[in-house]
Amino acid sequence: MRAWFFTEDAYPYLPDEDSYESIRVNLPNKHFDPSTGADLYHMYLDMWCAADEMGLNIMNNEHHQTATCMVPAAPIMLGILARETKNARLLILGNPVANRSQPVRVAEEMALIDVLSKGRLECGFVRGVPYESAPANVFPYRGTEKLWEAHDLITKAWTTHDGPFNFEGRWFHARQVNIWPRPYQQPHPPVWVTMGSAGSAEQVAQRGHIGAVFLAGYPRIRDIFEGYRKGYTEAHGTEMPIDRLAYCAMICVGNTEQEGLDGAEKLLWYMSSNKVPPQYSNPPGYHPPAVAATMMRGDSSGTGLPTSTTLSEQMARGNVFAGTPDQVYDQIKKFYDYCGGFGNLMMMSQAGFMTFDETLASMKLFSEEVYPRLKELTASYDPGQMRETQASLPDVENVDISTLASEFVR
């Protein structure tokens, strides 16, 4: 198992939430104090550097026009980490390539980070959440098609070393593509793509990339991972290596159960602060009409109100693992067995008002007392045995998946 420390770099110092319509897209940036923001950037970079020192890997991402994530250009932060860190793999998950007009520029940015870090880049591609549609001014319909076309152009740019080529696709055009630098890793950095359904998982599996799932929890994880495993075997004729799957959950480890749960409560800021009205959470063409219709009616997260969520619900769903090291290991192991295993654990271990010291204490406990056991777990992965284990565990059907949760599953 490889563990990836992740924080979304929130700017949590906001006015009363009744005073604004949305935390995303239209929240005026007068609420962003640059001096406070500078301190936060340094704090987040220090956390990532601490992750490197503890033997954890690093994951970062980007969002636009939102207080939930202060980083609108993940490659810039990753460029700093390429220089500041020594050992950690550097995962960007990911580049919102369906929303970026120049895939070749993305190929260049990623190649630069890969070279600077001497081959530590892991490059993710994502379609992006619905609220990104307005800031990017991209009509979200056919976003998946755009993602794959950008992917094809970027991987071709990374792997072409004998002079330029031209690209005339449906969504993107490029002339005389011949990037400098080329990637450090050959043939190119490992690629990750997010997936939210068995169908999207199959597309990732066919290409052999790492398939990443966010907060799908017990209700949906089996379906998605099974879609990947099936697609992988069909496309490649072999069992899927376990390092091809990744799961992201919120994780807090404490010296006592209560300490872990208290920290996890703070992580829920990620969900509870996500006040977004339907015009941003439901741009035309993002969701299938059945989902869009529900949101237009004002049901579920379409009301624009933050989803009320309790820690116990989120833990039951498999979205949060929290408690003592033993408890956290047991929760992850249970989920791991239930879904058939995964080789990458993305840990959302800081959110909202969780302090630097609190975050590092949890990370330290994780890296010293949980991580070694997880590494053993994946080292002993056996596909046949796993199928038996999985078959002995009945489907968990007690937890529903709200529209809000489905929005994070990609």
Q: Measured from the CB atom, is 279 or 390 closer to another protein?
A: 279
Q: Measured from the CB atom, is 22 or 362 closer to another protein?
A: 22
Inter-residue contact 126 to 100 (CB < 8 Å) = no
Q: Which of 147, 127, 59 is nearest to 410 (CA)?
A: 127
Q: CA–CA separation, 126 vs 151, rounded Å?
A: 10
Q: Measured from the CB atom, is 130 or 325 closer to another protein?
A: 130
Angle CA(43)–CA(36)–CA(132) in degrees, nearest 5?
85
Q: Which residues bind another protein (CB under 8 A)?
A: 21, 25, 134, 137, 139, 141, 277-280, 283-285, 289-290, 292-293, 296-298
Smallest gap from Cβ 139 to another protein, in A, equals: 4
Q: Measured from the CB atom, is 227 or 283 closer to another protein?
A: 283
Smallest gap from Cβ 20 to another protein, in A, equals: 13
Written as six digits, the tokens of 302 are 């379409």
- Sort 383 into a burial class: Cβ within 10 Å, 0-12 / 13-18 / 19+: middle
Smallest gap from Cβ 279 to another protein, in A, equals: 6
Smallest gap from Cβ 62 to another protein, in A, equals: 21
Q: CA–CA separation, 100 vs 78, rounded Å?
A: 18
Angle CA(137)–CA(247)–CA(353) in degrees, nearest 5?
70
Inter-residue contact 106 to 97 (CB < 8 Å) = yes
Q: Measured from the CB atom, is 78 or 276 closer to another protein?
A: 276
Inter-residue contact 67 to 14 (CB < 8 Å) = yes
Smallest gap from Cβ 201 to another protein, in A, equals: 23
Inter-residue contact 48 to 5 (CB < 8 Å) = yes
Smallest gap from Cβ 295 to another protein, in A, equals: 8
Q: What is the CA radius of gyration of the chain?
A: 20
Smallest gap from Cβ 127 to another protein, in A, equals: 16
Q: Measured from the CB atom, is 131 or 184 closer to another protein?
A: 131
Q: Measured from the CB atom, is 145 or 313 closer to another protein?
A: 145
Smallest gap from Cβ 10 to another protein, in A, equals: 23
Q: Measured from the CB atom, is 183 or 278 closer to another protein?
A: 278
Residue 161 CB neighbour total at 10 angstroms: 10
Q: Measured from the CB atom, is 290 or 391 closer to another protein?
A: 290
Smallest gap from Cβ 18 to another protein, in A, equals: 16
